Amino acid sequence: MIIIYDSKTGNVERFVKKLNLECYRIVPQLKVSTSFILVTYTTGFGEVSRSTKDFLEANHVHLKGVASSGNRNWGVKFAKAADIIADTYKVPAIIKFELSGTEKDVAKFMLEVMNFV
């Protein structure tokens, strides 16, 4: 299972670097032809970033699950991008983590990824 990620401030990138998995950053025109889990961030007031939306429009067919970073200060909008993507594409929201995540978040994510292998 590969991990596709989108990072604005570096938090998501720091999270995925803690994983011992094959990870690719979203760049314009990225095409994925195999199953993947998306790790992204929440922007604005609980929204999915434009770059993540554009990527998913072209690649959602292979999406198996989603995780999102956020800041707990946003209350119910914390890591809301995971909920939006999960609802839109009918995939599970694997985990929501704050900023770049803790070791406990990484362990939980890895455990969840094993369910897709």
Tokens 């985990």 correspond to: 95
pLDDT score recorded for residue 116: 82
Count of other CB atoms within 10 angstroms of residue 68: 27
Per-residue pLDDT of the chain (117 residues; tens, 9 = 90+): 899 999 999 999 999 999 989 999 999 999 999 999 999 999 998 999 999 999 999 999 999 999 999 999 888 999 999 999 999 999 999 999 999 999 999 999 999 999 887
pLDDT score recorded for residue 77: 92
Decide: 63 and 18 in contact? Cβ < 8 Å. no
Quote the pTM value: 0.94
Instruction: Report the alpha-carbon distance of residue 49 to residue 56 in Å, rounded.
Output: 11
Strand runs labelled E in 58-103: 63-70, 93-98
